[in-house]
């Protein structure tokens, strides 16, 4: 189920995800505010956010940096959609961890390049993968076709 590009405007699903992510306990709202103001979280904050997040989506467009452990934690999120469009680069290990995410859609719209290994890792993701450019989409899609 490869859909390729996505409209990153405030269309229905994007707006819905944004609203749901910011609802919840004061602690959950504080974690979202930390991401919005600092662009990052600690490992413990990431774990807490994943545990408290709404089951339909985790919307983190302000997250601009990520540790390998945080990628593992985010990859374990059990909701349907994971929005990480603020990340502009990932390590090989991080792409492998995020590809393990079991949800319906993984949004990595901030990435501007992928190594061959990173593309191979992301090609293993079984849901809908949303990347920024046709070039990145094609790189991952070509690997998926070769695997089939």
pLDDT at 1 over 70: no
Q: Percentage of residues in the chain with pLDDT exceeding 90?
A: 66
pLDDT at 12 over 60: no
pLDDT of residue 29: 85
Q: pTM of the prediction?
A: 0.84
**Strand 105-108 relative to strand 81-83, pairing:** parallel
pLDDT of residue 16: 44
The tens digit of pLDDT for each residue in 51-101 reads 998 888 898 989 999 999 999 999 999 999 999 999 999 999 999 999 999
Which whole number is the average pLDDT over 7-23?
48
């Amino acid at each position: 189920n490869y859909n390729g590009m996505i409209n990153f405007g405030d269309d229905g699903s994007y707006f819905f995800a944004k609203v749901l992510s910011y609802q919840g306990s004061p602690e959950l709202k504080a974690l979202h505010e930390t991401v919005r103001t600092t662009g990052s979280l600690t490992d413990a904050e990431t774990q807490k956010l994943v545990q408290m997040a709404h089951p339909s989506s985790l919307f983190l467009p302000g997250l601009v940096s990520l540790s390998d452990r945080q990628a593992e934690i985010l990859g374990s999120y059990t909701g349907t959609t994971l929005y990480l469009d603020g990340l502009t680069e990932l390590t090989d290990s991080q792409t492998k961890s995020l590809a393990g995410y079991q949800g319906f859609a993984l949004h990595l719209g901030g990435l501007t390049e992928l190594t061959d290994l990173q593309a191979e890792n992301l090609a293993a993701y079984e849901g809908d993968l949303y990347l920024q450019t046709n070039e990145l989409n094609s790189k991952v899609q070509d690997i998926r076709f070769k695997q089939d």
